[in-house]
Every structure is written in C-alpha cells, then in structure tokens.
Structure 1
Amino acid sequence: MKLTVFGATGGIGQEVVRQALDAGHQVTAVVRDPSRLSVTGERLDVFRADLGDPAAVRPAVAGRDAVLSGLGARRRADAGVATRLTRTVLGAMEAEGVRRLLVVSAAPVGPRPRDAGLLDRGVLGVISAVLKDVYADLRAMEAEVARSTTDWTVVRPPRLQDKPLTGRYRTEIGGFPTKGRYVGRADVAHAMLAMTGDAATLKQGVGVAY
C-alpha cells in the first residue's frame, strides 16, 4: 500500500513508518524537521511541512491508500495541537478524495472498560484530572474526525511505554480491554497498520492494550 504518516517523528509515528517499510509498503513521512526522523529506507519519501495549510500538504496525501496520524500534544502546554493539526490533515484528504484515516487518541477519551475495578476507576480519574486539557483536545479532535467524510478509525491506547514490538496485545472495537493499563508504542503502531485494511474498524473507536 501507499501510506502517509503524520507525526512521523513521534514515538508511535516513527514505529508506524519503520514497521510499514518492513512490511513492504511505500511510505510518505510528513515532518517539520527531517533531522528528527531516524528511519530510512528505499520506499520512504520525507515530506517537510508545518501543517499550517491543507493545500500545502495535499501532495503528501494525493493518491494514497491510507493516512495514519500520530499527531498530538507531547506535553500539557501543547493542548489544542491535536485538533488544529488534524483539521489540516482532514482538509487535505477531503480535497484529494483520500478516504482511509487512522488517528491516535487516548483511552480516557473513550468508554470505560467493562467491569473496571475500583483501582482502575481511581487511576483513570486522577489521570483525567491531571491531563484534562490534553484530553479535551483529543475529544475535540475525535469530533472533527467523526464529522469528516473519511473512513476513520480512532485508536485509543492507555499509558504508553517504550518497549520492543510484541504483537501480543488486545483490541476492543467500540470499547476498551478490561484492565488494560499499558501498551508499548511499537504495538500501537502494529495495531494501526493491522486495522488499516480491517473493515470492522471503520468509523469506530478501538481500544488497544496489553
């Protein structure tokens, strides 16, 4: 497939690029600073853009089979960036008629796990309070995506870890795995690539966790 990755210098984004190349896909990585992208490959095109204008990134998505986005705030002070930048991606995709989109959100934005225990509810409450502005941004981003004309999937991981790819994780369409407290960035990337061709995940939020 021909894939475009936004947020390609982030922890999940770089894993998406790396794993997609390893799987034989043609990848366009959209970045602000190419020096921060450590992944290389013959099938990799690096597209430099600041995502301020949908028209400027249209060439990065034109003719692609799918767009995968790891865009989002890296710290609380960056709250608002996910909605703003994703709006640019949506504008470019809609202008080019590209349909398939997968974006990263977060577990607290979606429904609570079924049969969540007292500890899980307490931890979720604390995290949601501390990162309320970031999660408000992600909720707004999800709303923008849901209103779009794209065939979207929102991927909602819990606390992220830097761990090697395992391929052993749980997913739940429309919900979240019970007691799923952690997941590695590499496995989130793996899940996103697996969902790219999965019709069951269209216009759905999908929880992913160990």
Structure 2
Amino acid sequence: MKLVVFGANGPTGRQVTAQAVAEGHTVTAVTRRPAEFPLSDPRLRVAGADVLDPGAVARAVAGQDAVISTLGVPYSRQPVTVYSEGITHITRAMTEHGVRRLVCVSSTVLFGVPAPGETYFFRKVLEPLIARTMGRTVYEDMRRMEEIVLDGDHRWTVVRPAGLFDADTVSDYQVATSRLPGRFTARADLGNALLTEAVGDLHVGAFVDVRTTEGVPGILDVIRHEAFGGSK
C-alpha cells in the first residue's frame, strides 16, 4: 500500500514508518525537519511539510491509499490546536484527493471511564491530575480532533493508547474497542497497531485501546518522561 505518515519524526511516527517499510509498503513520511529524519529506504520518501500548512498537507496526501496521523505535542499550560487544526487539513486533503482510510492517535483518557481493576489512588487522584491539570489543553484538543474525525465521512479508526514508553520490539499486545486494564503502551506496539489498522481495516468507525502487558516501566518513570518533553 501507499501510506502517508504525519508526525513521522516523532517516536511513534518513526516506529510506524520503519515497520511499514519493513513490510514492503511505500511510505511518505511527513515532518517539519526532513534533514533530521533518521530512516532511509528505496520505498521511503521524506516530505518536508507542516501539518498546519493545508497546501503542503494536500500534496502529501495526493495519491495515497491511507493516512496515518501520529501527531503529538508535550503537555502545556498554553492552548493546544495542533491536533484539531492538523486533522482538519488532513481530512480536507483526503476528501479532495479521494483518500478514504484514516487512522490517528489520541489517548485512553478520552474513553471517559476508569481503567478496569485500577487502584482508587490511580482512578481518583493520579489520572485526574494528569487529565485535568498537567495535560488538560492537550486532551481538550485531542477531543476536538476526534469530533472532527467523527463528523467526516472517511473510513476512520482512532487508536487510544495509554502512557507511552519506548521498547525495542513489538510485543503480544492487547487491542479492544473498550478501555483495557493496564497503564502503559509501548510505542513499538502502538506503531504496529496503527499500521495493522491502516492496512487491514479491522476496526473501521471505532475507538481502539492498545495495551502492552510485557516489560512495562514504573508509573513515575513514564509520568516524568511524558510531562517533561514527551511526545507521540
């Protein structure tokens, strides 16, 4: 397939791109800093573009079979609009060029229900602190992004991972259309889930949780990383 990946130079975007190329797909990796992109392959084209530039987005989307958005920004007290503005430009470009399949990333927080089996402290103190204070502006814009996706007529899937961490290989991760138990998602697993959805049409029109169960880190390590410079 011909795939375009937005946010390709983020940790998850690089995972998606590398795995897609390894599976034999043709990939257009969209990044604002193409000179810094670490991957190369005959099946890979690196496109320098900003997702906030509708013309550049349209050029990247043209001729593709599916779009994968791994846009991500660190937590901030300032208003965040990258998710909603980016997906607006992406979906308009998809409509213009007749591209139907869209897979994008938000967060398990947006399920709006507690993780099964979680402790009282995590459910009532820690997760609300992250969702309503540390990451409030990010999650607000993720919600706006999801609403834009829902209002469109594309064949969409929104993947909602938990706390992200780095791992070397894809594990035997879990996938469900409701919130799963556990607190963490490896970026390798998230990248694999995004690619699998884009290629296989497994959960069209659904919100999908992805959860890693092997080799997960401590919760304070993940919070520290994601709150101070982490990204998708």
Query: Is the TM-score greater than 0.5?
Result: yes
Match of 2:186 among 179, 184, 187: 184
CA distance, structure 2, for counterparts of residue 207 and residue 50 of structure 1: 28
Contact 2:170 2:192 in 1 (8 A): no
Q: Tell me how many residue pairs correspond in the alignment.
A: 208
CA distance, structure 2, for counterparts of residue 140 and residue 49 of structure 1: 22
CA distance, structure 2, for counterparts of residue 205 and residue 41 of structure 1: 32
Aligned AA for 1:66? A
Contact 1:154 1:204 in 2 (8 A): yes
Identity of aligned residues (%): 37
Structure 1 residue 25, shift from structure 2 partner: 0.5
Aligned AA for 1:4? V
Tell me the equivalent position of 2:45.
45
Aligned AA for 1:36? E
- Asked if residue 145 in structure 1 is aligned to residue 146 in structure 2, the reply is no
Q: How does 1:1-210 map to 2 (within 5 A)?
A: 1-76=1-76, 77=78, 79-112=80-113, 113-122=115-124, 123-129=126-132, 130-173=134-177, 175-178=178-181, 180-210=182-212
Structure 1 residue 164, shift from structure 2 partner: 1.3
Aligned AA for 1:176? R
Structure 1 residue 92, shift from structure 2 partner: 0.8
CA distance, structure 1, for counterparts of residue 33 and residue 121 of structure 2: 41
Q: Deviations over 1:12-48 (max 9, x none)?
A: 0011111111111000011111122111111001111
CA distance, structure 2, for counterparts of residue 15 and residue 100 of structure 1: 19
Aligned AA for 1:38? P
Structure 1 residue 78, shift from structure 2 partner: 6.5
CA distance, structure 1, for counterparts of residue 180 and residue 9 of structure 2: 28
Contact 1:7 1:30 in 2 (8 A): yes
Aligned AA for 1:103? C
> What is the RMSD of the two structures over their aligned residues, measured on CA atoms?
1.6
Structure 1 residue 72, shift from structure 2 partner: 2.5
Structure 1 residue 116, shift from structure 2 partner: 4.2
Q: Deviations over 1:64-111 (max 9, x none)?
A: 111101112233147221111111111111111101011010110124
**Distance change >3 Å, CA 165–CA 84, structure 1 → 2:** same
CA distance, structure 2, for counterparts of residue 205 and residue 119 of structure 1: 26
CA distance, structure 1, for counterparts of residue 16 and residue 79 of structure 2: 22
Flag structure 2 segments of 5+ consecutive residues without an equivalent. Answer: 213-232
The residue matched to 1:64 in structure 2 has which SS?
A: coil
